[in-house]
């Protein structure tokens, strides 16, 4: 990453801070209000990310994938059925890939189907988490991922050092990864102390798992952008790029947390 004190980095950092001052309080309010406000916000955000995915990959089945996304959302938010939503997700992904193929996008068909999977899985996870563990746990998840992103950016910018995955994302460093991990643990412990009921051992263990997942999700999206020779997935959020750029780590961490919650029998099918 570019050092924080570098003149070229300062405008980026300022834009990131200003964007965060708007997005973070808005996200917190939506999570705490919950219900259909939360479900609606998740659908809108998912639709934006789906659009950015199709714009990035140039796959030719956006409307089919959008219809699939809405069907998955209805199954999860209205019918409260995880299995129905997964079934519709699979059918929608296959249909989107097939439509892209018949429209002449032979090399993009797999990307057309993968886009719906990439967007729908975290949507299902968020709706199930809101109805299961509840809004405070979704907030805890958000804070852990935000802390990971912030810690990685700040520590990586200040220290630099050895590159984490230079072939995928040359700006990411091992120091930044460690900083993100440490920030996630601290944030989780604070949230466990004041917001959610979680013992120290689980707070640390879960934070480490979700932070690693978030950073792997970030690297995964970096690989996709490099594959399509793009710096950002869009320009919706100043300092970050597109919404897909902002939620890359959240996608992986949310799905992992939902699987953990399902394992412990604390995962439901729709908004309360």
Judge whether residue 2 has pLDDT over 80: no
Give the CA distances from residue 36 to residues 32, 41, 74, 75, 184, in Å, rounded to whole numbers and listed in that order.
Answer: 12, 8, 12, 14, 29
Asked if residue 270 is part of any domain, the answer here is no
Give the CA distances from residue 114 to residues 53, 91, 187, 211, in Å, rounded to whole numbers and listed in that order.
Answer: 9, 12, 32, 23
Where residue 3 falls among pLDDT bands split at 50, 70, 90?
very low
Q: What is the pLDDT of residues 207-257, one digit of tens each?
A: 999 999 999 999 999 999 999 999 888 878 776 678 998 898 999 999 999
Q: What is the pLDDT of residues 104-163, one digit of tens each?
A: 767 899 999 999 999 999 999 999 999 999 999 999 999 999 999 999 988 988 888 888
Asked if residue 30 is part of any domain, the answer here is yes
Q: How many domains does the chain have?
A: 1
Asked if residue 22 is part of any domain, the answer here is yes
Q: Tell me what pLDDT residue 20 has.
A: 77
Asked if residue 269 is part of any domain, the answer here is no
Token representation of residue 227: 């594959």
| Strand ranges, E, within 57-205 | 163-165, 169-173
- Domain limits at 112? 9-263
Asked if residue 156 is part of any domain, the answer here is yes
Say which DSSP state 268 is in: -
Q: Look at residue 17 and give its three-state secondary structure.
A: helix
Q: Which residue has the higher pLDDT, 21 or 137?
A: 137
Asked if residue 3 is part of any domain, the answer here is no
- Measured between alpha carbons, how far is 215 from 153 in angstroms, rounded to an integer? 11
- Measured between alpha carbons, how far is 85 from 102 in angstroms, rounded to an integer? 25
Asked if residue 250 is part of any domain, the answer here is yes
> What is the percent of the chain where pLDDT is above 90?
70
Asked if residue 271 is part of any domain, the answer here is no
């Amino acid at each position: 990453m570019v050092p924080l004190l570098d003149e070229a980095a300062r405008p980026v950092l300022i834009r990131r801070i200003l964007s965060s001052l708007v997005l973070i309080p808005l996200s917190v309010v939506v999570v705490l209000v919950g219900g259909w406000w939360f479900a609606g916000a998740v659908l809108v955000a998912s639709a934006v990310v789906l659009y950015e995915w199709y714009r990035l990959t140039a796959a030719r089945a956006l409307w089919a994938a959008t219809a699939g996304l809405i069907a998955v959302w209805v199954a999860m938010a209205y019918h409260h059925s995880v299995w129905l939503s997964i079934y519709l997700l699979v059918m929608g992904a296959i249909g989107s890939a097939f439509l892209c193929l018949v429209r002449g996008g032979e090399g993009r068909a797999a990307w057309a189907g993968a886009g719906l999977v990439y967007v729908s899985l975290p949507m299902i996870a968020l709706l199930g988490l809101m109805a299961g563990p509840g809004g405070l746990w979704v907030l805890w998840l958000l804070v852990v991922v935000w802390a990971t992103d912030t810690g990685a950016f700040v520590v990586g910018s200040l220290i630099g050092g050895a590159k984490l995955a230079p072939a995928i994302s040359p700006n990411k460093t091992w120091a930044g990864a460690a900083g993100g991990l440490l920030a996630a643990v601290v944030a989780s412990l604070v949230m466990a102390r004041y917001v959610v009921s979680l013992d120290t051992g689980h707070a640390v263990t879960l934070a480490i798992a979700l932070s690693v997942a978030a950073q792997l999700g970030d690297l995964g999206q970096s690989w996709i952008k490099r594959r399509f020779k793009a710096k950002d997935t869009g320009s919706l959020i100043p300092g970050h790029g597109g919404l897909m750029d902002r939620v890359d780590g959240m996608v992986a961490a949310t799905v992992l947390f939902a699987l953990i919650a399902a394992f412990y029998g604390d995962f439901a099918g729709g908004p309360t």
